[in-house]
Chains A and B, each alone.
Chain A
Amino acid sequence: MALVRFTQNIQRHVACPPRNVEGPTVRDILNAYFRGNALARDYVFDEQGQLRRHMAIFIDGEPVLDRRGLADPVSPAGTIDIVQALSGG
């Protein structure tokens, strides 16, 4: 199962503890992570399910290539980091 970690800054608004989650792609893994926690999902995705413009996702230290579909594969031992892009200020 991949490890999902969030920027510390988001924790001030909504709890997003690190968790190990199973799934083949970033989208699958994050859907599973946010299941039952719509409040936290809304901080990372907009109402159309798109990654918010100034959020960034890294898989094992590399930025995701498919920001719209989040179809990038994740290995079972992988680590997903969800951080704030500096473009947002």
Chain B
Amino acid sequence: MSQRLHVATRKGLFTLDRHGARWSITRTSFLGDNCTLVMHDPRPIGGRTRQRRAKFSGQLVAALDHGHFGVKLHRSRDGGATWQPIGTPAYPPKPADYKPRMPAEGAPYEWALKRVWSLVPGGAHQPGRLWCGTLPGGLFRSDDHGDTWEFNRTLWDDPKREEWFGGGAEVPGIHSICVHPTDPDRLVLGISCGGAWITDDGGRSWRCSGPGMRAEYMPAERAFDPNIQDPHLVAQCAAHPDTLWVQHHNGIFRSTDRAAHWSEIQNVKPSAFGFAVAAHPKDPETAWFVPAIKDEKRIPFGGRVVVNRTTNGGRSFKTLTRGLPQKHAYDLVFRHALDVDESGDRLAFGSTTGSLWVSENGGDSWKSLSQHLPPIYAVCFEKPLVG
């Protein structure tokens, strides 16, 4: 099971290590800076021997949003002891004769990086390949561990891309990238608001996912349009990658045919609203969610923090509460702030109010690791890559 957890927060990156049965913060990085995302890439890189001696494999990439000064990426190859700035994904110049389709919000989007919203390693046998999803909707690929980034022009130039609109931000963005473990040219993206998009050829061609997602926030005529859906997160079962789970703006959806069709999971209590979902790495029937009162409030039901777990493909859920605050708790869990390790037994999630919990038994019980961190955007276990 994973022994190390990284936590990206509004005021820096925190690393926790497990010693014996205890977790403790062992390192802080970028203290005071807005660290919006962190990625662990376990694939060995050059200097393998040196890394083995250092008891750390691969690299970490952290996304910082400095507000005034823009978005930057930094990389560490020594487990976070030192960091170096690396290339930042850059949008291409807008063609002079470009006529943007007017988005629903009424102002054309700038072709400029607003946020790094997803960062994942490529396949286990694609050394150096990383994928990066961004606001306002561009996808980038690196084949040199993040030194440089190539803009995916095919997806950007698809006319349906201009139908996307902001969900959780002023502009649309790619927050989920699911890489098929054994055929890593097959990706599924999650986009708010642009539904799920699929490539089977490493990004040379794209198609919007099949039907089944439902958007109750849209006019009835458009409710089932796959391209206007707001999947808050798409999560893939590593051992059964045709199984995908979606925590959507107004529901929970599941696909067992790699996004060709989606089924809505009904009657989820206390709520089908939330941001985060974690898919069990081995069992396609098991996933975890952190429900909340839907969009107009975005707080836990009754001031109780709970985790919903299904072990039968969504036919029923068990609401897990042991170790979680059940009175006057107003923690909201963002989309990247729940993670599960490679065993499926160890989970962690963090909240907007700086609370961090870990479970060692698949969510049956939880232990508070901190109640005083800055607002948490993302949690990330160090774990091996399947494939």
Q: Which residues of A contact B (CB under 8 A)?
A: 9-10, 13, 39, 42-44, 46-48, 50, 52, 54-55, 84-85, 88-89
B68's partner among A39, A47, A50, A52 (CB-CB below 8 A) is A52
Inter-chain contact A48/B93, CB cutoff 8 Å: yes
A47 to B140, CA, bound (A): 14
Inter-chain contact B70/A48, CB cutoff 8 Å: no
| Nearest CB of chain B from residue A50's CB, rounded to whole Å | 7
Inter-chain contact B67/A54, CB cutoff 8 Å: yes
Q: Does B156 contact A (CB under 8 A)?
A: no
Interface of B is mostly: loop
A85 to B68, CA, bound (A): 8
Sorting the interface of chain B by its residue count into under 10, 10 to 19, 20 to 34 or 35 or more gives: 10 to 19
List B contacts of A84 (CB < 8 A): 68
CB < 8 Å A-B pair total: 41
List A contacts of B320 (CB < 8 A): none
A54 and B113 contact, Cβ closer than 8 Å, known pairs A47-B90, A47-B91, A48-B93:
no
Q: Does B94 contact A (CB under 8 A)?
A: yes
Q: Does B111 contact A (CB under 8 A)?
A: yes
Inter-chain contact B70/A13, CB cutoff 8 Å: no
List B contacts of A89 (CB < 8 A): 67
1/0 per residue B71-95: CB within 8 Å of A? 0100000000000010010110110
List A contacts of B112 (CB < 8 A): 46-48, 50
List B contacts of A43 (CB < 8 A): 66, 69-70
A46 to B89, CA, bound (A): 11
Inter-chain contact B70/A52, CB cutoff 8 Å: yes
A55 and B110 contact, Cβ closer than 8 Å, known pairs A42-B88, A47-B90, A47-B91:
no
List B contacts of A52 (CB < 8 A): 68-70
List A contacts of B91 (CB < 8 A): 47-48
1/0 per residue B40-81: CB within 8 Å of A? 000000000000000000000000001111101000000000
